């Protein structure tokens, strides 16, 4: 397979996905596809269906309808095989607070059956700027350090697909930029990434394509630049804009300016 064919290969295909909780529809006939090496952003207000979509891909919730294919594998029929090829970083990490960083890495390397020597461990923690924290307990580390460790753990088994739910929420600008670099590095290794974010700056900085979701439905999909061109003359987008139309203006114009809880 040539390099161009490889980059156009679909890693994740979501078709007509429907997720409900009791009588409430959280995800309504959502269809998406993500190519190899692509960073895809799922944008939406609170309660729009972003996390429910990720939870279905991760296998945490059972869809009422639709299909999920990972590298040609039916994820609903082969959940264990699918999960072995997915890495997940949540907005809030839940590693064992009393364990040291070294112990956490060892634990998850064992869970994923990844062989990791002491030298490998040192190199890995050095690569994420945590070599001096190796014997520090997780609860003693900063938010930025915890996010860097979490992203490393999510990638420890070189998954086909990495799911990131608000990966930089609460981080300072320096930590956020460093995490963007690490996300870009993962893409450079051929991994595909599906992330949710409330930051339009982040979406424009790291995402190849984005989809805006609201009330469980996909409103629009494309590169950030394509969405601006496509919707810049929409009256609601023009109303939201303060000067040159931005992705945030498109987002507010299409989803409304009301605050969501």
Report the pLDDT value the prediction gives residue 182, as an integer from 0 to 100: 79
**Comparing C-alpha atoms, which of 33, 34, 37 is closest to residue 7?**
37
pLDDT digits (tens, 9 = 90+) for 201-229: 889 989 999 999 999 999 999 999 999 99
Q: Is residue 132 within 8 Å of 141, Cβ to Cβ?
A: no
179 or 111, which is more confident?
A: 111
pLDDT tier at 177, thresholds 50, 70, 90 = confident
155 Cβ neighbours under 8 A, 6+ residues apart: 87, 162, 186, 191
Burial of 168 (0-12, 13-18, 19+ CB in 10 A): buried
| Model confidence at 23: pLDDT above 60 | yes
42 or 169, which is more confident?
A: 42
pLDDT digits (tens, 9 = 90+) for 25-58: 999 999 999 999 999 999 999 999 999 999 999 9
* Rounded distance between C-alpha atoms, residue 139 and residue 17, angstroms: 38
Ordered domains of the chain (ranges, CATH): 1-85+160-231 (3.40.50.300), 93-158 (no CATH)
* Rounded distance between C-alpha atoms, residue 46 and residue 43, angstroms: 10
Indicate if the alpha-carbon torsion angle 205, 207, 208, 212 is positive or negative: negative
Instruction: Record the tokens describing residue 42, joined without a space.
Output: 């799922």
**Comparing C-alpha atoms, which of 259, 202, 261 is closest to residue 39?**
202
Cβ atoms within 10 A of the Cβ of 255, count?
20
Percentage of residues in the chain with pLDDT exceeding 70?
Answer: 96
pLDDT digits (tens, 9 = 90+) for 58-87: 999 999 999 999 999 999 999 999 999 999
| Model confidence at 17: pLDDT above 90 | yes
What rounded mean pLDDT belongs to the chain?
Answer: 89
pLDDT tier at 2, thresholds 50, 70, 90 = very low
* CA atoms within 13 Å, Cβ hemisphere of 115: 0
């Amino acid at each position: 397979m040539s390099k161009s064919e490889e980059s156009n290969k679909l890693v994740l295909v979501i078709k007509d996905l429907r997720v409900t909780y009791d009588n409430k529809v959280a995800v309504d006939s959502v269809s998406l596809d993500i190519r190899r090496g692509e960073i895809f952003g799922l944008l939406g207000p609170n309660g729009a269906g972003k996390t429910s979509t990720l939870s279905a891909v991760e296998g945490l919730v059972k869809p009422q309808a639709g299909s999920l294919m990972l590298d040609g594998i039916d994820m609903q029929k082969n959940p264990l095989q699918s999960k072995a090829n997915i890495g997940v970083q949540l907005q809030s990490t839940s590693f064992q607070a009393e364990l040291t960083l070294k112990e956490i890495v060892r634990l998850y390397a064992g869970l994923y059956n990844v062989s990791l020597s002491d030298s490998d461990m040192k190199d890995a923690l050095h690569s994420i700027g945590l070599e001096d924290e190796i014997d520090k307990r997780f609860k003693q580390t900063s938010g930025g350090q915890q996010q860097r460790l979490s992203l490393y753990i999510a990638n420890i088994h070189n998954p086909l697909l990495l799911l990131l739910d608000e990966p930089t929420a609460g981080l300072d600008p320096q930590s956020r930029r460093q995490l963007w670099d690490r996300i870009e590095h993962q893409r450079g290794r051929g991994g595909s990434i599906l992330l949710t974010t409330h930051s339009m700056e982040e979406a424009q900085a790291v995402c190849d394509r984005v989809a805006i979701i609201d009330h469980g439905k996909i409103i629009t999909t494309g590169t950030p630049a394509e969405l601006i061109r496509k919707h810049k003359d929409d009256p609601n987008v023009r109303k939201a804009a303060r000067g040159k139309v931005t992705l945030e203006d498109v987002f507010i114009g299409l989803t409304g300016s009301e605050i969501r809880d």
